[in-house]
Amino acid sequence: MKRNKILESEEKFEITSMIDVVFLLLIYFMFLPIQQEADLGITLPAEAPPAKNLELPSEHLVEIMPNGQVLLNRQPMGGVNSRELPGLRDTLARLKASSDRAGIKTVVTIDADPDSPHQRSIDVLNALKEAGVELVSFTMST
């Protein structure tokens, strides 16, 4: 008798509502990837026409050392005391003329050491202007 009372007093677990929730979650997660893929607006590479004759610029690196020495593509240009930098100016003018004949833009990147004199960067910029180079950028080596 006692056993029957225990069995009757226990609450029955309703599984019907749990099955409904599981089906709703299943349907939600089945359609979620479809909605995300539909929102993406990408162009596949196969649809883009191939680039013809990609013209790369003629890039050169001017380094300014802490002692004021100027290097063009790792080659020393002029003395430490020369403010006009005639070697750098003439070499850059020849490089720009050669690039212009080939129809290529000339790009110069200046890598000035943080301990280099700021006036030396101005001297390099003046030499670039005299050589006719217009595309100039600065970088910091790590």
Q: Which domains does the chain have, with CATH numbers?
A: 2-39 (no CATH), 58-139 (3.30.420.270)
Structure tokens at 13: 């677990």
pLDDT per residue as tens, the chain (142 positions): 555 555 555 566 678 888 999 999 888 888 776 655 555 666 666 665 666 766 777 899 999 999 989 999 999 987 778 888 888 999 999 999 999 998 889 999 999 999 998 999 999 999 999 999 999 999 887 5
**In terms of residues, how long is the chain?**
142
This prediction has a pTM of: 0.60
- Residue 106 has a pLDDT of 92
Is residue 95 within 8 Å of residue 62, measured between CB atoms?
no
Question: Can you read off the two tokens belonging to residue 65?
Answer: 């050392």
